[in-house]
Structure 1
Amino acid sequence: MAVAPLSCVIIDDEPLAQDLLRKYVGRLPFLAAPTVFDSAVEALGRLDQLRPDLVLLDVNMPQLSGIDFLKTFTRHQPAVVLTTAYAEYAVQGFDYDAVDFLLKPISFERFVKAITKVQARLVGPAPGPAEEPGAPRVLLLKENKKFIRVPAADILFVEGMRDYLKVYTKARVILTHMTMTKMESLLDETAFLRVNRSYLVHKAAIAAIHGNTLELVNNMEVPIGINYREAVRLLTDKGVL
C-alpha cells in the first residue's frame, strides 16, 4: 500500500533559506510540497489547522524566535527540525523535543540525514545498509544535560512520575523528562505492554504473573492496573506474552 508523503511547513524569515529548503524538500518524493511562512508570528495558530507532519523551523527570527514558537504548540505536535547559523541553540531546541538541528549553510546530505530521523520517529526506520530489518531501535534519552543512547531491547520497564520517567534498563536506571504517552509512541507496541497508567513493561522482561502483579527478571514487581487486566489476560490466553 502506498504511503502518503509527509506534509511539511517551512518557517524562516530569510528568502534564500526558504528557497534552499523548498528545493531540498522537492528532491525527496516522500515529502509533500511545503507551506512556507516568513515568520513564526505569521505561522501562529496555523499548525493546528494545517497539522503538518514536519516543521523546518528557523531559530533566529524577529518578534518571535523559533524556540519561543515551540512553546506555543498545543494540540498538534509535529516533528520539528531546527535551522540556524548559531550552534549554541541546539541543546535548547532539544529541550523541546526537536528531532534534529541543521546548522546553516545546510548541505543536502545533512538535510537528508535529518529527514531520515524524522521518518524513523513518524513511520519507523526504513530497512537499508545502515539498519537491517529487525535491528533494535535505539532511543536517545536526555538525563540532566547528557543524551544517552539506549537500545530498546535493554529496557526492562518504564515507570511514570508526572512529567518524568524512570527507565529501568539491564545496566542502570535513567531519569528522563518525558511523558509516558511519548515513550509509548517510541517503542514497538508488539514488544512492550502498558500494564498500568504508570508502568510500561517489556514483555521479554516478564518472568511470571501472580494474580495482578508482574514479576520481572530483575526481581522487581509491577502492579497490573484494573483497566489493563483484560489486555494482559488476552495475551496470556493466546500464549504470546
Structure 2
Amino acid sequence: MVTPLRCLLIDDEPLAQDLLLDHIAQLPALEVVGVASNALQAIELYQELRPDLLLLDINLPRMNGYELLSSLPGKAPWVIVISGYQEFAFEGFENNVVDFLLKPVTFSRFVRAVTKVQERIQAAEGVSPTLPLATQVLSPTGQLSIKDGNKLINIVCQDIILIEAMSDYVKIQLPGQVVVSHQRVSALEKLLPAPMFIRVNRSFIVNTAKILETNGQRIEMQNGHTIRVGPTYRGVVGSLIRNGL
C-alpha cells in the first residue's frame, strides 16, 4: 500500500478551504494533517507536523505565501501554489513550486498538480518506472536534462519557446537551436512549470512569456511561428487573454 502524502493546507478563504478539502477527500494519495488560515499559524503547524506537501495560498494576512516559504526551517517541502492572481505565477517558478493553480481550482486540474508532485518525488528517489530514456528531471535551478541522440543537454525552462510533438519524439525550439528527444510530449508536459507553459493543441506546448500576440484562435510566437489553437484548448487561451499575457 502506498503511503499517502501528508499535506498542510494554507488558505485564509473558507470557501477555498472547503473546495480544496473536498478535492483532497477524493484522492487516497493525499492526507490532510492540518489547515492554517494565516502564515504564523502555518509556520507553527509546519514545525509540528513536518508535512510532505504544502497547498499554499499567496494572499495571506501579514505575510504572503512566498515570504512564508522563505521562512520555513529545514529542507523545503513540495509546494503547490493556489491563487486567484496569475501575476504570482512567475515568482512561484522562481521559488521552485511544483505547480501553480488559479482559483477556483477544478478537480481535474488539481489531480494533474498532485500527479506532478508524485512524479517529482519518484524521480528524486530514482524509483519512477515511467521516466523515459530522456532522463528528465526539473532541477531546483529550473533546468531540464534532455537526451538528444547520444548527448545530454541541460535546458533552462525559461529559454524554451515552444515544444512540438512528433509521434514518439518532441522537438524543443530554443533561441538559435532545436533539440529533438525520443519521448512523449505528455511526459514532458508534466514536468514543465504551469502556467508558464500551456498546451494549445494536441501537438504544441508554448511558453506564455514568448507569445507575441493571440486572438484566442491562433497564437503568434516571438520567433515568428504561428500556431492554431485547438477547440479543446481555447478556454485556457481565453483565460490567458482575460488575465493578460
Q: Is the partner of 1:101 in helix, strand or coil?
A: strand
- Residue 237 of structure 1 corresponds to none
- 1:76 and 1:4 map into 2 onto residues whose CA distance is 20
Residues 27-57 of structure 1: per-residue CA shift (max 9 Å, x gap) = 1111113411111121123313211110000
Question: Could you tell me which amino acid in structure 2 is paired with residue 139 of structure 1?
Answer: V
Alignment of 1:143-158 (within 5 A): 149-151=144-146, 153=147
Structure 1 stretches of 4+ moved >6 Å: 172-176
RMSD value over aligned CA atoms?
3.0
Pair 1:22–1:64, CA change in 2 (3 A): same
- 2:64 and 2:5 map into 1 onto residues whose CA distance is 25
Q: Which has the higher Rg, Structure 1 or Structure 2?
A: 1
Pair 1:34–1:137, CA change in 2 (3 A): farther
- 1:83 and 1:30 map into 2 onto residues whose CA distance is 19
Question: Could you tell me which amino acid in structure 1 is paired with residue 18 of structure 2?
Answer: D
Q: Is the partner of 2:138 in helix, strand or coil?
A: strand
Pair 1:109–1:173, CA change in 2 (3 A): closer
Aligned residues: 155
Q: Is the partner of 1:81 in helix, strand or coil?
A: strand
- Residue 227 of structure 2 corresponds to none
> Is the 1:47–1:76 Cα contact (8 Å) retained in structure 2?
no
Question: Could you tell me which amino acid in structure 1 is paired with residue 138 of structure 2?
Answer: L
Pair 1:173–1:126, CA change in 2 (3 A): closer
> Is the 1:10–1:35 Cα contact (8 Å) retained in structure 2?
yes
- Measured after TM superposition, the shift of residue 111 of structure 1 is 0.4
Residues 95-152 of structure 1: per-residue CA shift (max 9 Å, x gap) = 111111001111111101100111012234866xxxx565544233587xxx65432x
- Residue 140 of structure 1 corresponds to 138
- 2:148 and 2:47 map into 1 onto residues whose CA distance is 36
Pair 1:134–1:102, CA change in 2 (3 A): same
Pair 1:41–1:91, CA change in 2 (3 A): same
> Is the 1:99–1:118 Cα contact (8 Å) retained in structure 2?
yes
Q: Structure 2: which 5+ residue stretches go unaligned?
A: 159-245
- 1:33 and 1:142 map into 2 onto residues whose CA distance is 26
Alignment of 1:43-192 (within 5 A): 43-124=42-123, 132=130, 134=132, 136-140=134-138, 149-151=144-146, 153=147, 170-171=152-153
- 2:155 and 2:36 map into 1 onto residues whose CA distance is 42
- Measured after TM superposition, the shift of residue 171 of structure 1 is 4.9
- 1:90 and 1:105 map into 2 onto residues whose CA distance is 15
Residues 57-80 of structure 1: per-residue CA shift (max 9 Å, x gap) = 000112111011011122142100
- 1:9 and 1:118 map into 2 onto residues whose CA distance is 14
- Residue 41 of structure 1 corresponds to 40
Question: Could you tell me which amino acid in structure 2 is paired with residue 55 of structure 1?
Answer: L
Alignment of 1:207-222 (within 5 A): none
- 1:172 and 1:118 map into 2 onto residues whose CA distance is 21
> Is the 1:48–1:75 Cα contact (8 Å) retained in structure 2?
no
- 2:120 and 2:91 map into 1 onto residues whose CA distance is 20
- Residue 228 of structure 2 corresponds to none
- 1:47 and 1:38 map into 2 onto residues whose CA distance is 13
Task: Please report the TM-score for the alignment, with normalisation by the length of structure 1.
Answer: 0.56
- Residue 14 of structure 1 corresponds to 13
> Is the 2:9–2:32 Cα contact (8 Å) retained in structure 1?
no
